Every structure is written in structure tokens, then in C-alpha cells.
Amino acid sequence: MKILDLQNIYKKGENEYVILKTFKNVTKIGEDKYLTYLSAFYIGELWEKQQLTYYSQTQRGIRYKKINNKVVEKTIVKESNINEMSNLILKGELSTTQLTFNVLKTDNEILNYNKEKNELFIRGSLSILDGMHRVKGCYKAYKSAQILNDPKLIENVKQLLFPIIILHLDDEDAKNTFSQFSKGLKISKSLSESFDSTKASNRIATKLNEHSILKDRIDTRRTYLQKTDTQHVVTFLTLKTAIDSCFPSIKDENEEQEIYIFLSAFFNELINLFPNLIDENRLLLKEEYINFEDIFFYCYISLAEDLYLKRKSNWKEEMKALNKIDYDKDNSIWNCVIKATRTGCTIINNKSSRALMIRVFKQEFYSNL
């Protein structure tokens, strides 16, 4: 499905894309500051009609791409984010957040607010200060629904409402405002993933953190466990990434629930074998033994995947082989993830080192069955 990739790059005196429009249901909430609500459909229409623009001075700049021996300007966006948002909008599942637009102050713009009718008339250049990916996601969903000519999809795009702040700022103030947005507090990857309930792996990890023996033992705030953390045994990011890797194609809610129930039982059995994983001695043991480290949950979930495939057998009995493995960090078999330093050792945590660690772990496990 081919959708015209509009750039709508605003340039003073060249491509100003003047909008001439009255917005309804608008509330004035401050000096040169207005609030309204627009549907994803309406936002997509604004972008299609080039009534909403990308002003590089108050965005991430412009990239240049050579197409058919011609250099063209492109907005700086991440297409995967746009595609994800578009799909969620089409399903009616996107959690909407505030977008901020600006009517650039020039000598020619007009803003008239009618308090009695709650209407705002704009003649000028309307650009995006915050929300570029969401706007392009709206546009893609808007076009996709029309191309597919699917009434349900069209209705979903029309029903999804975004709160919109419309400002009236000059160049300098607009840049300062964008700078404030860009310096906004960044949240950890773990916290970001824990907020995202669209992924089965995230939902399973959340349930484990709320209802299993790992209740409140999974750190959703940080990407890495702090050395002095006595509460948590694994980060949300580690757990969900491991689940994603080992259970990548969960078909439906029934399978998701079945995997969650099995993992809950698996961790019950694991804690029976290693009760120190969740008690006050864990930090001391972690200094000496690798199986108390956050990274080792990749091994645990990988083993759980194997046992899940034969869950109707006596898999709990097989798990007792875990007690026969030497987890001492001085054991050279773990050199794939442990690097000696002057002050002790450090964990090498990347995709390839984890794969080697899992391979070593499984060789040890199955040789002890």
C-alpha cells in the first residue's frame, strides 16, 4: 500500500503553507495559548492538505537524501515508530497524549478567538512543536483507512481524540519551547516497556510482578539493578526481553495465559531450589555466584521454554539438575560473560555474550540430568 510521503517542510518566504481555518471547541487557557481536541482523522487531513508543517528550526533538523540524482530534504523521524503508532490508531488502541502546535508570529498572521462561540480563526503557518511522530502516525492511519475503504478503520481513526495545545510564538520563543520539550525527563527502557501493555511479553512480565512468587521483585524503574538493591532480583527489561526471545509468537490470549501460568510455576520451583534468590543473602551470594545475577534470568527463561514444551511430563523433577551446576564466578565456563578487573569482575551483557552463556548453561544442565 503506497502512501505519499509528504514532508511539509516550512521555509520562510518559500514554502510557508498558510492555513486558513476556524477551529471549534477551543478554550483560551493563557496568553497566546489555546486548548482543543482533534481526531486522528482531522490531524491526518491537516497534514495531507499541507496545513500543518514541519519547521526544522523548532524540530530535529533536516536530513538530505539523493533520489534519482536529485537531493531532496527529509524530515528526521523514525519510521518504525510511525508505523507502530499508525497500526495502534487503526485498531483504536493508541493512548493519546498532548500535541503542541504553533502559529508562527510574523507580520501577516491572524488569530481571532471568539469567546462566545469557543472558536479560533487562524490565518498563518501552523507547525508542530511537539508530536511529529504522532502526527505522521495519524496521517498514515488516515490514508490507510481510506485506501482500504474499511468503515470500521475509518471510524477508529475518527474516534481517537488528541488534546492539542496551540501556541502563538515567534522564532526565538518557539525554539526555547522546543528545547524545553527536548530536555524533558527521560524514562528508563524498563519503565517504558512496563507501561506498554500492547506486547504479550510485557503483559506476562507484569503479571509475574503482580501475582507470582516474584511479586514486587521485578524492577520496573531501572534498566540495570543497583548493586545495593535488596528488593529486586531482575529488571522488567531483562525479563520481558528474555520472554520475547523464547516465546516470540504467542498466538492468542489463551496461549499467553498458559505461558504465564507455567512461568509462575517454574519460578515457584526455582525459588524452592534457590530460596536465597529472594532473601537478604542474595546480595552477598551475587558477589560469588553468577546465578544470582540479573543476566542469568536469560538462562532461566531459556530453560523454561524447553520445559514448557514438555510441561505434561515431570519437568519439576528435571529442574533438580540445577543444583548440580557450579555457578561460581571463578569457574572458567562463565568467562563468556565475566571479565576480571582490578577491583573484582564485571558482567559483559550483550546479545552475543548472553547467547554463549545460555549455551554453556544448557550444556551443564543437560549433562547433569
Q: Please report whether residue 308 resides in a domain.
A: yes
Q: Please report whether residue 107 resides in a domain.
A: yes
Which residue do the cell numbers 521483585 mark? 217
Cβ-based neighbours of 94, under 8 Å, separated by 6 or more: 40, 85, 88, 137, 160
Q: Which domain holds residue 331?
A: 189-367
Q: Please report whether residue 315 resides in a domain.
A: yes
- Phi and psi at 243, nearest 5°, equal -65, -45
Same domain, 201 and 120: no
Indicate the residue among 182, 200, 235 that finishes a domain. 182
How buried is 143 (Cβ within 10 angstroms: 0-12 exposed, 13-18 middle, 19+ buried)? buried
Indicate the residue among 129, 159, 182 that finishes a domain. 182
- C-alpha cell, 147: 485506501
Q: Please report whether residue 276 resides in a domain.
A: yes
d(CA 162, CA 361): 49
Question: pLDDT 10s digit of each residue in the chain, 369 long?
Answer: 667 677 777 766 665 667 788 999 999 887 888 999 999 999 999 989 988 888 876 666 666 666 777 767 777 788 899 999 999 999 989 988 889 999 988 878 899 999 999 999 998 888 888 888 999 999 999 999 999 999 999 999 999 999 999 999 887 777 777 666 655 545 567 766 765 677 899 899 989 998 999 998 998 878 889 888 888 999 999 999 999 999 998 989 999 999 999 999 999 999 999 999 998 899 999 999 999 999 999 999 999 999 999 887 889 999 999 999 999 999 999 999 998 877 778 899 999 999 999 999 999 999 998
Q: Please report whether residue 29 resides in a domain.
A: yes
The predicted model scores a pTM of 0.56
Distances 123 to 106, 107, 120 between C-alpha atoms, Å: 11, 11, 10
Specify the number of domains making up the chain. Answer: 2
Same domain, 74 and 145: yes
- Phi and psi at 312, nearest 5°, equal -85, -5
In 40-100, where does DSSP find H-type helix? 40-48, 79-91
Give the residue from 83, 86, 102, 106 showing the smallest Cα distance to 94: 86
Same domain, 240 and 346: yes
